[in-house]
Amino acid sequence: MVPLPYRSIILLVLLLSCAYAGTVPQDGRCSSDNDHQDPATHRLLTECMDKAFCSAPVNGTCVSKQCARDEYPFGYTQGEIVPPLCPRGTFCPDEGSGCKALVAIGQSCQLDRDEQCAPPPNWSYLASGLNFNGSLCLKGKCRYANITLGQACQIENTTYLDLDLTGEPIKTTVIRDNCRTPELFCDTATMLCEHTKVTGGTCQTDGECKTHNCGENGYCIDQPETPLNVAPWQYVILVLCIVAGGFGDRKFTLKFDHPIVATITTCIALNFVHKRDHKQRRREVQDYYNEQTRSVFYC
């Protein structure tokens, strides 16, 4: 439960976020100097409505967005024509002002927009699920995720505020660094890259764990989607128990309704069902990937 004073502050911030949302319609007067981040969600807010951006720092005009960063941009309803995605080698800024070339190392980028940064020459060696092709946007600058063990690193700490389904304020803190992941993390005490911890190691943040999942009890745990691995000896014991149960019956005969036959039949059926579902799911993912690839290349 969030303390009452803190809840009041969160609610006030969320209300202010709504109040400062853009209201100027297309072709209306605006100033991009007034662009700012939502204090709760860190989403970019402008004086223009969601489908437009401001064309100039002073005495600008709200113009229709020229690009989108994903297929479902905010503010558009089903059936509306949305701006196109940007081709490979470019990106769409939060303003939607048009596709831009990838940003070089050390240059400015927008919060949580790693894909705005140009990849390093050895991007395949540095790439992981915690960066974009070996690059990341950290503290507003493009950097490579290439800091190695024992070297000085940098940390970005971002807090997001929101309300859950019951209206209770919730706070999410995201800590990122420029160490090479997932092998290393930036220790907040020493500000040096250290080895990530295996399952069971003590932790305070997700980034300290090799699985990137720090449990509520302060220990590194597996990801929720991690499959359960059954040891071979457990299979052996299960089979022996089934067989022993069957042969323990003096009137043992292999009829269809016998427990051994029923168990084997069930296992075979479940195996076929699992393979079919897995194949179907894989086909769906492949189709989605192909669709996204076509969108990137032909926009």
Q: Which residues contact 284 (CB under 8 A, 6 or more apart)?
A: none
Got the DSSP string for 59-96? SEEEEE---BSSSS-TTPPTTPPPPPBPPTTEE--TT-
Q: What is the mean pLDDT of the chain?
A: 83
What is the pTM for the complete model shown? 0.71
Got the DSSP string for 19-60? HTS--B-TT-EE-GGG-EE-TTT--EE-SB-TTEEESSSSSE
* 237-to-135, 234, 244, 247, 259 alpha-carbon distances in Å: 49, 5, 10, 15, 16
pLDDT of residue 253: 54
Distance CA 37, CA 44 (A): 4
* Mean pLDDT confidence for 79-108: 94
Instruction: For the chain, give the percent of residues with pLDDT over 70.
Output: 82
Helix ranges restricted to H, the chain? 4-19, 123-126, 232-247, 259-298
DSSP state of 148: -
Between residues 136 and 271, which one has the greater pLDDT?
136
Between residues 205 and 281, which one has the greater pLDDT?
205
User: pLDDT tens, 6-48?
Assistant: 455 444 444 444 445 578 999 999 999 999 999 888 889 999 9
pLDDT of residue 178: 96
pLDDT of residue 3: 55
